[in-house]
Amino acid sequence: MSKSIAVNAGSSTLKFKLFDMPSEEVVAEGTIERIGEKMGHAKIKYGDGQKHEEEQPFVDHGAAIKYLLDQLIALGIVKSYDEITAVGHRVVAGGEYFKDSAVINDDVIEKINSLAEYAPLHDPAELVGIKAFRKALPNAFAIAVFDTSFHANMPKMNALYSIPYEWYEKYGARKYGAHGTSHRYVAAQAAKMLNKPLEDLKLITLHIGAGASITAIKNGKSFDTSMGFTPLAGITMATRSGDVDPSLVAFVEEKTGKTSAEIIDDLNHKSGLLGISELSPDMRDILDAADKGNEKAQLALDIYVNRIKRYIGAYIAEMDGADAIVFTAGVGENSAPVRKLVTDNMDYLGIKIDQEKNQCHGVQRDLSAPDAKVKTLLIPTNEELMIVRDIERLKKEQAN
Which residue among 123, 147, 224, 323 is the active-site one? 147
**CA dihedral sign of residues 169, 172, 178, 180:** positive
For residues 3 and 78, the answer to whether their CB atoms sit within 8 Å is yes
Task: For residue 94, say whether it is annotated as part of any ligand binding site.
Answer: no
Q: Is 89 annotated as a binding residue?
A: no
Contacts 24+ apart (CB under 8 A), 265-271: 267/232, 267/240, 267/241, 268/232, 268/239, 268/240, 268/241, 269/239, 269/240, 270/239, 271/239, 271/240, 271/241
Relative to beta strand 102-103, strand 84-91 is unpaired
Cα–Cα distance, 384 to 278 (Å, whole number)? 34
Going across the sheet that includes 202-208, the strands are 221-225, 212-218, 202-208, 324-328, 375-378, 365-366
345 is in an annotated binding site: no
Q: Measuring CA to CA, which residue among 83, 42, 80, 74 is closest to residue 61? A: 42
Q: Tell me whether residue 344 is annotated as binding.
A: no
321 marked among binding-site residues: no
Residue 306 marked as a ligand binder: no
Do the Cβ atoms of 86 and 395 come closer than 8 Å?
Answer: yes
147 is catalytic: yes
- 8 A C-beta contact, residue 232 and residue 268: yes
**d(Cα 113, Cα 53) in Å, to the nearest integer?**
33
310 marked among binding-site residues = no
Residue 383 marked ligand-binding:
yes
Q: Phi/psi of residue 236, each to 5°?
A: -60, 135
| 331 is known to lie in a ligand binding site | yes
Question: 8: annotated binding-site residue?
Answer: yes
Nearest to 145 by CA among 398, 394, 380: 394
DSSP H stretches of helix in 172-259: 180-194, 247-256
* Ligand-binding site membership of 208 (annotated): yes
Cα–Cα nearest to 150, from 213, 194, 195:
213
Task: Find out whether 334 is annotated in a ligand binding site.
Answer: yes
Q: Is 122 marked within a binding site?
A: no
- Confirm whether residue 339 is marked as ligand binding: no
Q: Confirm or deny that 219 is annotated as ligand binding.
A: no
Question: Which amino acids are annotated as binding site for Mg(2+), given as ranges?
Answer: 8, 383
Q: Annotated binding site for ATP, which residues? A: 15, 207-211, 282-284, 330-334
Binding annotation for substrate: 90
Q: What residue numbers does the annotated binding site cover?
A: 8, 15, 90, 207-211, 282-284, 330-334, 383
Instruction: State the catalytic residues.
Output: 147
